[in-house]
Amino acid sequence: MKINIYYGGRGLIDDPTLYVISKMQEVFDELNVKTERYNLFEQKNNIATLPQTFKDADGIILATTVEWYGIGGYMQQFLDACWLYGDKTKISGLYMRPIAMSTTYGEKEAILTLSNAWEILGGTPLSGLYGYVEDLLNFEMNEDFARLIEKKAENTYRAISQHQVGLPTSNQAVKKTVLQTKGIELTPQESEQLSKYAADDTYVKKQKEDILELTSLFKGMMNKKEYSEPVEYVEDFQQVYTPETNFYAIYKFIIQDKKKPLIVDIGPGGLECYYGNLENADVVIRLENHIMDNIINGRITFQRAFMSGEMTTKGDFKMLRMLDVIFPFGER
């Protein structure tokens, strides 16, 4: 058995949560349970990738400290990453024990937040361990408190090993009805790659610098050469079009400053490319002019524009991936 511990505090010496999770780890060691702790304040640039660490875990502990209000920014970022990038199938089989120690007020609210979030994600929360600590030394020296913490650790082991079953909750019902998101379908490899891009500050910063430079460049080019909206980009798509057998799709490009969307219709009769209004497109893509210019000129691909967040999409993601195959602008 393996239990992952995600600590959302700031790592301060007098943080009571550190004492609690260390005490629980001692019990897990005695029970031959493998544990791995992730300090979110040390992983702040990689929080988006941490849901990938659920893969080999049987249960997790979410531990945070209420220093003034709420569960803290690191833990909130981690829960956001679980919602955006986490494998919901894996999460649905994970038990979670919430821990919230407070040096001010609000430990019960923090436990409720963690439990509700985990239920909405599809997982199974166990009863929380929480408390208010005014003096850390007295807290650590209290043998009754130590036994309570050890008992919680033992119960965590029992709940996971015995696959404890709980009654259905309204949070689970809400997730199935109201909170369903129409996300794009990603393979596990694509999800991991996307989360790594989102967490890479250097990559994002470099993209923004490139975009600013290219924006200035293309503004100068556009000032020299005026394009009429009905024909801009149409000829570019027609020139590089590479047919794929039995592949048909309709793409709708909503480009900034264009009065009408650019429709790219790949049908049995070939390619039709025009500006117009169409409701039933398979893929709807939104992007700015300079991003489309970069793609047309082979500076970036459709996939890279999507992964960097400069292009948003709605619809069949498999058809989105085919864009770079059918329109290889980088090869011309």
- The one-digit pLDDT tens for each residue of the chain (332 residues) are 999 999 999 999 899 999 999 999 999 999 999 999 999 999 989 999 999 999 999 999 999 999 998 999 999 999 999 999 999 899 999 999 999 999 999 999 999 999 999 999 999 999 999 999 999 999 999 999 999 999 999 999 999 988 887 776 666 565 555 545 444 555 555 655 666 565 566 666 676 677 777 776 666 565 544 444 457 899 999 999 999 988 999 999 999 888 899 999 999 889 999 999 888 899 999 999 999 999 999 999 998 888 888 898 888 878 888 999 999 998 76
Closest CA to 98 of 61, 73, 71, 70: 61
Q: Tell me the residue length of the chain.
A: 332
pTM of this structure: 0.56
State the alpha helices, DSSP H only, in the chain. Answer: 16-30, 73-85, 88-91, 107-121, 136-141, 143-161, 170-177, 188-199, 201-224, 234-240, 289-296, 302-307, 317-321, 323-326
Q: Which residues of 37-49 are buried (b: 16+ CB within 10 A; e: fewer)?
A: ebbbeebeebbbb
The residue ranges of every structural domain in the chain are 2-177, 200-331
Q: Which two tokens stand for residue 188?
A: 């596990």
Residue type, 320: L
Dihedrals phi, psi of 241, to nearest 5 degrees: -55, 125
| Direct distance between the N- and C-terminal alpha carbons of the chain, in angstroms, rounded to an integer | 54
Q: Distance between CA atoms of 221 and 244, rounded to whole angstroms?
A: 33
Q: Which CATH number fits domain 2-177: 3.40.50.11540, 3.50.50.60, 3.40.50.360, 3.40.50.300?
A: 3.40.50.360
Query: Are domains 2-177 and 200-331 of this chain identical in fold?
Result: no
C-beta of residue 100 within 8 angstroms of C-beta of residue 133: no
Q: What is the CATH number of domain 200-331?
A: 3.30.1050.10
- As beta bridge partners, residue 111 has none
